[in-house]
Amino acid sequence: MPTIIVIANRKGGTGKTTTAVNLAAEFAASGERVLLIDLDTQNHCALGLGLTPGKGQLTVHHLFREPAAEDLLAAAILPSACERLDLIPADPDFQHDAALNDDQVLSRALANPVINGYDRILIDSPPSLDRLLLNALTAARWALIPFVPHPLSGEGVRQLARVFFRVAMRSNANLRLLGLLPVMIDSRIGQHRRVQDQVISQFGQERLLGCIRSDIKLAESFAAGRPIRDYAPHSRGNQDYHTAFANLCARLRG
């Protein structure tokens, strides 16, 4: 069975998709088969991997329109230019309030034998509290929370924590917090240090997987449709994601 990791925060603009794409690329480069699922209707994972889904392309959001669509998930898989890394894209036209009233849709679809051939499944979740986020948390074994050092993002972490524990108590007793990852950090800025310290005081230093410093190369790599490890291997952005990946793997082994 693949390990399923959801990347989530209740606040948008917190580096979720950049983190999902670059950690997926790290897993693939380590020799594992990786499936990245984009549940966020902004559909930015495809952009970060240089993919342009064609007209009529199946997406993960087909699952949430009608129950019979669960068997179609494997047909939505797109290979990326990164060896061993595939994507199931999002539907930018999907209306969140149209989702089926069922938190188990994604879990059932991921039981497909084709999907079970992967080593890791990473889910880029939407920031909204709706059926899509609840499906992601219900399907996952681990949750990773990226956040920017801003008071609103810190509040997003706290809001997600409440949802996280509610799901763990009601529908997914196996759900665990993998860790937190501050992104766009500049240690010279006092507010950045204060917000990071507040999050650490709530969750514990041991939950921190490192930090991703501000680096324009990360934005450039996304615009180029390439993970940072391929676009700018000597950048601090790549160094930081590689360190975060190593800490994440240590947590998974532990």
Give tens-digit pLDDT for 46-61.
999 999 988 889 999 9
At 154 the pLDDT is 66
Residue type, 233: P
What pLDDT, on the 0 to 100 scale, is given for residue 172? 95
Structure tokens at 92: 């930018």
- pLDDT for 148: 83
User: What pLDDT is recorded for position 160?
Assistant: 81
pLDDT of residue 151: 66
- Which pLDDT score, from 0 to 100, does residue 123 have? 98
Beta-carbon contacts of residue 67 (< 8 Å; ≥ 6 apart)? 100, 102, 105
Closest CA to 5 of 221, 245, 222, 218: 245
Question: Residue ranges of the domains in the chain?
Answer: 3-253
Are 25 and 242 in contact by the 8 Å Cβ rule? The answer is no
Residue 91 and residue 43 in contact, taking contact as beta carbons nearer than 8 Å: yes
Write down the pLDDT at residue 206: 83
The CA-atom distances, in angstroms, between 231 and each of 17, 168, 183, 224, 237 are 16, 38, 19, 8, 11
Query: Using CA atoms, how far apart are residues 105 and 134, in angstroms rounded to an integer?
Result: 10
pTM of the model: 0.93
| Residue 146 vs residues 11, 141, 172: alpha-carbon distances, Å | 10, 17, 21
CA-nearest of 90, 88, 87, 77 to 42 is 90
pLDDT at 13: 77
Tokens of 66: 């009608």
Q: Which pLDDT value is given to residue 153?
A: 64
Could you say which architecture CATH assigns to the domain 3-253?
3-Layer(aba) Sandwich (3.40)
Torsion on CA atoms 73, 38, 138, 4, rounded to nearest 10: 80
Task: Give me the pLDDT at residue 55, please.
Answer: 85
For the chain (254 residues), the mean pLDDT of every run of 10, in chain order, is 92 87 98 97 94 91 82 92 97 87 92 94 91 94 89 72 88 93 80 74 80 94 97 97 96 88
